[in-house]
Chain A
Amino acid sequence: MNRTILIVDDSETSRMIIRKCFSMTGDEDSTFLEAEDGIRALSTLADQTVDLVVTDLNMPRMDGMTLLRKLRKSERTRHLAVVVISSMGNDHLDQELHALDVTAIIRKPLTPAKVREACPAGGF
């Protein structure tokens, strides 16, 4: 695939792992943008066209859930595909995320196999 993916995570390590896992599962030709929190992500999205957002939830300044809510309120990003990657796992959280129309939820630690498993036919 050749698309633009915005990775949002406060951890440089996690962003690197996400980039590697997506590159190994069909996105070797994609362009990766990075943001360290929700505020930086919104700033990037204001300037650039992105095909997919991959975001962590637990971040300083603006967390992933707040980012997701803001994306869904904006006409321009309402239908943007968002994959959530988080170390937290519980049904309440998943329900809240699905209500915000996330494309997939993947638990950390991220692996190429988990990306492959979560990816619907035809890609995110």
Chain B
Amino acid sequence: MLNESQVEEAVRMTFEEMAFLDVVAGTDPMTSLLQEGPWLFLAYTRPKSGSFALFLPKATRYAVAEAIYGEDRGEVTSTQLDDSLLELMNVLVGRLLTRRFGVGTAYSMGLPTVLFDFPGDIPGFSRKVFPFHNDENEMILIWYEVPA
């Protein structure tokens, strides 16, 4: 896995470029948020198996969709909301995996999806939690991967 600062840079750049949002790393693992939902989820299978789960609070979810679609809250449809978040997840994971495995290694990633419940522990996978926040809105990225 990448270290905290490498993950932070990928997350910060993705939110900045796609949604003009300032996101910075937090220090608190915010275990209370782990029971919240929904979670954006995306798995990869090559050269190692792993997955990412991302929790964003409601305000941040709408801020992303509004920025991408250039609409005010209330004008963004639920389809646009979900679709913009899945696309953000797709870009973020692509960026993380390119850094994780390097440009010289082929990797395979699945399609992003929404989980309504916290994925929890995945048997056989190690888990690392990366807390972030945008203003007062706290968010969590969880990285699962088969141990070396």
The reply to whether B106 and A12 form a contact with Cβ atoms under 8 Å apart is: no
The reply on B127 being an interface residue by CB < 8 A is no
The reply to whether B94 and A86 form a contact with Cβ atoms under 8 Å apart is: yes
Interface positions of B (Cβ within 8 A of A): 14, 17-18, 68-69, 79-80, 83-84, 86-87, 90-91, 93-95, 97-98, 101-107, 109, 111
Interface positions of A (Cβ within 8 A of B): 10-14, 16-17, 58-60, 86-93, 107-109, 111
Closest to B14 in A: A109
Q: Show 6 residue pairs from A and B whose CB-CB distance is below 8 angstroms, ordered by the A residue.
A: A11-B90, A12-B80, A87-B91, A88-B109, A91-B103, A109-B14
The reply to whether A90 and B107 form a contact with Cβ atoms under 8 Å apart is: yes
Which residues of chain B come closer than 8 Å to A108, judged between CB atoms?
A: 90-91, 94
Distance (whole angstroms) from the CB of B46 to the closest CB of chain A:
11
Closest to A63 in B: B111
Closest to B90 in A: A87
Q: Is the interface of B mostly helix, strand, loop or mixed?
A: helix
Distance (whole angstroms) from the CB of B5 to the closest CB of chain A:
20
The reply to whether A11 and B86 form a contact with Cβ atoms under 8 Å apart is: yes
The reply to whether A109 and B111 form a contact with Cβ atoms under 8 Å apart is: no
The reply to whether B83 and A13 form a contact with Cβ atoms under 8 Å apart is: yes
Contacting residue for A90 out of B84, B90, B91, B101, CB 8 A: B101
**C-alpha gap A111/B68 in the complex (Å):** 12
* Known A-B contacts A17-B68, A90-B101; A109 and B17 likewise in contact (beta carbons under 8 Å): yes
The reply to whether B80 and A58 form a contact with Cβ atoms under 8 Å apart is: no
Contacting residue for B106 out of A10, A58, A93, CB 8 A: A93
**C-alpha gap A49/B97 in the complex (Å):** 37
Which residues of chain A come closer than 8 Å to B87, judged between CB atoms?
A: 11, 13-14, 17
